[in-house]
Structure 1
Amino acid sequence: MAPDRIMFIRHAEKPTANEGIGIEADGKADDESLAVRGWQRAGALARFFCPIHEPHSARLTPASVFAPGNGPASKSKRAMQTVAPLVALLRQTSQVNYVTTYLKDDGPALMGDVLTQSGVVLIAWEHKVLPSLFGHVPRAPAVPAMWPEDRFDMVWILDRAPGGWSFSQLPQLLLAGDSAEPIR
């Protein structure tokens, strides 16, 4: 068994001088949480990946969602917060396999688990680690070597193809300032 499609996103916007402080869902300040714009993106991503009447929803709606858990090397909650609205929405109408047991640097174990899933899989991860995850996918195509620090608006997609996988990028175009330009 293996997934038909694996989608990769970076966690939503984090605290910076431009984005302001990080906040938890209850509004409490927290440097390890999303910035306000990140929470906006997280909410918008729920309907992006689970559209109401879109004909392509079967290709975007994940059966499994992976986000790194907290551990000694990373206390960030941002990836889990990014997918929390989507997971909540999916749980209203169906079952979703939501996995947060892997830490951000557990790439081999994470991808080993991902490759046993079926259907569509979504991985929300830290941008510095995302490109390295492809190295754990047999016969994966080449992907950009880096995910830029300032890009929160793209979905990288691996689709099962004869003899391996094909790679594409899907712009989110959810918030003002999002770009349709692929990551190079």
Structure 2
Amino acid sequence: MSLQKVMLIRHAEKPSPDDGGVDEAGKPDSESLSPRGWQRAGALVRFFYRDPCPAAAEIVTPDVIFAAGVGSGSQSRRSMQTVSPLSALLHMERSTPLVTQHLKDDVDGLVADVKHRDGAVLIAWEHKLLAQIVNQLSDQQLSPAPWPDDRFDMVWILVRAGKAWNWRQVPQRLLAGDSS
């Protein structure tokens, strides 16, 4: 088996002036998700743990999950927090690994690692780098428009079609106010 599908999401909602970030213990933390972000992280469990997803047949349960890691120059924990509830369930149910060794700017390392995986992969990452990741993974200039700064509610999907890749965008529609 080889890599067949890559699903990419932006980390969930980050702190705003009206809504601060909180860590897993509920302590204020500007590098963590906002309360709405934690709601989305919880809702993503059912979104990705249904096969097939009722919202979109293209969504499947991932065989491996990638999230941007924390390190020098990259202190945000939002990508890891976004997928941590899903990862915890899938690790118990299927031994699905959560890979966090690549920092957000290590797109080359991430892409090389993802290309060596089998089945379906989920990537939670910094939204400004998602178009670059898609283009490098597909070895094509699929060039989706840059991920909008104000959107946390969509999934980009790459599906293998022979030696090529097809790109698609799917709405999550998980929380009140999500766009379709």
**Interval of TM-score (by shorter of Structure 1 and Structure 2):** over 0.9
**Length, aligned pairs only:** 179
- Identity rate of aligned residues, in percent? 51
TM-score by length of 1: 0.91
CA contact (8 A) 1:153 1:173 kept: yes
Distance 1:16-1:25 versus aligned 2 partners, 3 A rule: same
Confirm or deny: 8 A CA contact 1:74 1:104 kept in the other structure.
yes
Matches within 5 A, 1:53-72: 59-72=59-72
Matches within 5 A, 1:1-184: 2-18=2-18, 20-51=19-50, 59-140=59-140, 142-180=142-180
* Pairwise CA distance, 1:178: 0.5
Runs of 4+ in structure 1 over 6 Å off:
55-58
Superposition deviation, residue 59 in structure 1? 4.7
SS at match of 1:60: coil
Cα deviation per residue 1:3-26 (whole Å; 9 max; x = unaligned)?
Answer: 1100000000000124x1000011
Q: Any gaps of 5 or more consecutive residues in structure 1? A: none
Q: How big is the alpha-carbon RMSD for the aligned residues of Structure 1 and Structure 2?
A: 1.9
| TM-score between both structures, scaled by the size of structure 2 | 0.93
CA apart distance, 1:173: 0.1
Cα deviation digits, residues 106-151 of structure 1 (max 9, x gap): 0011000101100100000011111111232243352323111100
Distance 1:54 1:14, change over 3 A: closer
- Per-residue CA deviations over 1:13-64 (Å, capped at 9, x if unaligned) read 000124x100001100000000000000000001100027857789510000
Call closer, same or farther: CA 1:59–1:13 in 2, change over 3 Å: closer
Rounded to whole Å, the distance in 2 between the matches of 1:21 and 1:111 is: 32
